[in-house]
Amino acid sequence: MAHSFGGETSSNGGRLFTGVCALAVAASLSGLATLVMGCAPTLAQGGVTYVEQGWTDAEKQWWYTTTQGSRLVPLSWMTALEQGDSTEKFLSDANVRKLGYLPGGTTGNALPLGFVVDQGPAPDGSQKPWIGMTCAACHTSEFTYGRHRVRVDGAPTLADFQGLMEGLLASLVATRADVQKLDRFVIAVLGAPPSPTDRATLIADLDGQIAWFTRLAAKNAAPIRYGHGRLDAQGHILNKIALSVGASEPLIHFPSDAPASYPFLWNTPQHEPVVQWNGIAPQPIIEQTFNGKTFDLGAMLRNTTELIGVFGSVDVTMEPGKDGYASSLRFENMIDLENLVKRLKSPRWPQQLLPPIDVNRANEGRALYTKHKCNDCHTVLDPATELQSKVTITMTALKDVGTDIWLACNAYLHESKSGLLEGRPGFGTIAEVGPTFQLLVNMSLSMIARAQQAPTSEPGMNAQRNLRTSSVAATTAAPERVGGPPQYDDPVKAQRAQRCLSEVDATLAYKPRPLNGIWSTAPYLHNGSVSTLYELLLPPGQRKTSFWVGGTEFDPDDVGFKSGPADGPFEFRVRDASGKIIPGNDNGGHDYGTAGMTNEERRALVEYLKTL
């Protein structure tokens, strides 16, 4: 299906008003001063002010409302479900806000922003509408400052995905257990009076969904709380794949205990040869076309694996005469979503909404950025040409960057029984037990092949055999942390950490990326363990070991969100009650040059980062 991005009205006919941010770049002998001269607010329904990022109003609406094939639960179920401990609807504005999602947005319906209706071909043959998530649910953010509520497209959400899934399962279980809840649910879904046969079928479907979500929750179960703004997306994807291949129990246990901040999307399609925090997804691989639209196989592989994580349905059994696996992947929509992201500009500091940048101090910070060789890892893109710039990524090994290892380590070591995929191609021939990454390659490429009705063996599968060949470059080793590296009481955890810090592999590393728009992406480090840019420039031993997240009040001085006890619903903790670092929450590392900086130098560098 082709999509037109023209027009100036919202999906429900409401008029959207757009202003233009005029940028003036003044060069002087002392450095580069970037000034936002006239950033007229872009006012949308509900009093939201947009930062200008190059998308039209119609494109924003399409981004918020277009399905990629995610199928969480039937739409009629979600609108009927009550919260587990009350009669309030699960999708009430209060519950949606509590979970950190954006209620309603400008989508013109009762669904939270980024939650969309999917209806179409699926492996189970169902044509009924389901509710799922699209890119905007995880990659749209808002902050507040004074009376302003400001939206940044492509920025990391502050949502609590872990809380969403726990609450949804609790609602399903309570609905099944409480006769009155069940009666209300059945009537809301089927109408009154429902036939005994329809009622029995619905209850059986409810039991099946509860059983699946219970298995998934047990597979992902981890002692760590993600809180707002983080998700172990790779852990969830790999564990869902492990449960979807028909393997017998017991399955190898890899808890989803490495939550990461949601990556921000602008200029991501330009990163080569890898994307994702740990570089697990390659691009480009092979350029192809589908229905006259050009796409890169690496980008589609990345997006398809993301769909698996947010409840795309797939059947790994193969039908005679059919290529690949039947799934709910909406392939053409996925191409259009990726192409739209290619035109998303990084957000510029809105000086009509936030305090103006101190140009002299920013110029001092620019000199410090050069002095400390920040640009060696973090390229600065010219805003005038940023969409045309290719960004060559050189990964930084875990032992050199010194940050929390578990996102990269878990993905590297994750193993599964292969079930029905044993003997099939995927990064080599799949064995009975082996890297879950192999299953991911096979499943994702086979979903794409079925969507295109093209063979699964060429060219994509062969190209994928080089997935892990991106270089890991040594850097100047980070200063040794106070007390040395974290110690682990769990012998399995200790053994895995030892392997990941001693073995060499392209995925045992993290990706430095351009910092354009970094001011709008707090909290910082890949695992969201540092609350502000200013704090990131402190030596690790001086960083906060706890702060509150989930609030939206912006801090323009330190650059991040206000993070006191009254500012957010969730307390992020680096250490447990005994004082040991919580695996997944380590806030150490990335301390290049921090020890020798003065406070004034840190403030100048922060001021410069606002200009990017």
pLDDT digit string, tens, across residues 23-71: 333 332 233 333 333 344 444 445 899 999 999 999 999 999 999 999 9
Distances 585 to 254, 337, 425 between C-alpha atoms, Å:
17, 32, 36
Query: pLDDT higher for 7 or 235?
Result: 235
SS in 3 state form for 482-530? CCCCCCCCCHHHHHHHHHHHHCCCCCCEECCCCCCCHHHCCCECCCCCE
DSSP 220-246: H--S----TTEE-HHHHHHHHHHHHS-
Distance CA 502, CA 479 (A): 18
Q: Is the pLDDT of residue 573 over 90?
A: yes
SS in 3 state form for 524-551? ECCCCCECEHHHHCCCHHHCCCEEEECC
Mean pLDDT to the nearest integer, 517-530: 98
Confidence of residue 17 (pLDDT cuts 50, 70, 90): very low
E strand or H helix at 202, and its extent?
helix 196-220
How large is the angle between the packed helices 233-244 and 406-413, nearest 10 degrees? Answer: 20
E strand or H helix at 38, and its extent?
strand 31-39
- Match 């000034």 to its residue by tokens: 35
Query: In 3-state terms, what secondary structure has residue 162?
Result: helix
**Mean pLDDT in the chain?**
87
Distance of CA 396 to the CA centre of its chain: 21
pLDDT at res. 527: 98
Give the pair of three-digit tokens for residue 55. Answer: 């998308």
The pair phi, psi for residue 315, each rounded to 5°, is -120, 115
Burial label, 342 (beta-carbon count in 10 A; 0-12, 13-18, 19+): middle
Q: Is the pLDDT of residue 440 over 90?
A: yes
What is the model's pTM? 0.89
- Match 């400052």 to its residue by tokens: 145
Q: Is the pLDDT of residue 480 over 90?
A: no
Of residues 73, 67, 415, the one with CA closest to residue 212 = 73
- Match 């009430």 to its residue by tokens: 92
Tell me 50's DSSP state.
E
Residue 248 and residue 324 in contact, taking contact as beta carbons nearer than 8 Å: no
Distances 562 to 25, 422, 548, 609 between C-alpha atoms, Å:
30, 50, 8, 18
The pair phi, psi for residue 61, each rounded to 5°, is -60, -40
Of residues 607, 113, 132, 9, the one with CA closest to residue 367 = 607
Give the pair of three-digit tokens for residue 455. Answer: 């063979």
Of residues 589, 576, 584, 605, the one with CA closest to residue 477 = 589
- In the chain, where the domains are located: 238-248+260-346+381-516, 351-378+522-612
Q: Is the pLDDT of residue 475 over 60?
A: no
Distance CA 573, CA 168 (A): 25
Picking from 186-200, 308-322, 569-583, which range would have the lowest pLDDT averaged per residue?
308-322
The pair phi, psi for residue 417, each rounded to 5°, is -75, 140
Of residues 99, 263, 242, the one with CA closest to residue 168 = 99
